[in-house]
Amino acid sequence: MTITAAADGSALGNPGPNGWAWYIDDENWAAGGSPHGTNNQGELQAVLELLRATAGSDEKLVIECDSKYVIDSITKWMPGWKRKGWRKSDGGPVLNRELMEALDVEIRGRDIEFQWVKGHAGHPLNEAADERANAAAKAYQQKIEPRRGPGFVNAAGAGAVVAASTAVAAGATTGRPDAASSTDHAAVSQQRPAASAPRATAEPLWAETADLLDGLDAPSADPIEVRLTLSGPEHARLQDRAAAQGTSLEEALRRLI
């Protein structure tokens, strides 16, 4: 089986209020955005959120993008950037590094293929993603909550039997910069690192969760309650992930285990 999805981004002003969206069908899509960001950030965020939402699936993922910047960044330039300490060939820092590092983590071990499609040219999935990303950007412009969508309703749970409860710190939940555009047809397939490999610093919430749960008994053990104190930005990230998957905060956290 293959999952085919479109990922797209939008920005009003570039930079300005921006939006992202990925779309599979009317029952499987998600959108979000931020009060201030670029179109490229929206394009990248759309792909990142799609990868996160479908992380529980073993099926091949075909991603339609209209941004060559996104596809080339992931399929051509990223290995060189990593070798140079996330710097470009001219020595300058890689733009949108946090998003790039997060994408680097998410593509490992996944069977992913990118296909470039021309934007605003009648491609059904691309048009649906573009419409939702633009609507999210407009919602942030109007300072209202965007339509976030049902998420990936076929997402599989992590399978760990651990009861988790989050005690969150007070703070506003602002959206993150996002991104998604297009590029040439390219395939991505990388080996997942060993369990002992260090986690990317761009994902502190994941790393903290893994550390707290390290050494817990096998799934047959009695449930253990784990309490976390999250910062405002960490809580916002968890909320966005839960919204993309169409689950509760607790279930989204459990799927990280």
Are 54 and 3 within 8 A, CB to CB? Answer: yes
As annotated, the active-site residues are 8-9, 43, 66, 120, 130
Among candidates 192, 208, 210, 205, which has minimal Cα distance to 238? 205
Contact 67, 9 (CB under 8 A): yes
Neighbours of 94 (CB within 10 A): 20
Amino acid at 175: G
Under 8 Å between Cβ of 110 and 54 = no
Nearest to 19 by CA among 7, 27, 4, 2: 7
What is the distance between the alpha carbons of residues 190 and 30, in angstroms, rounded to a whole number?
26
Token digits for 214? 């390290």
How many contiguous H segments (helices) and E segments (strands) does the chain have? Answer: 8, 8
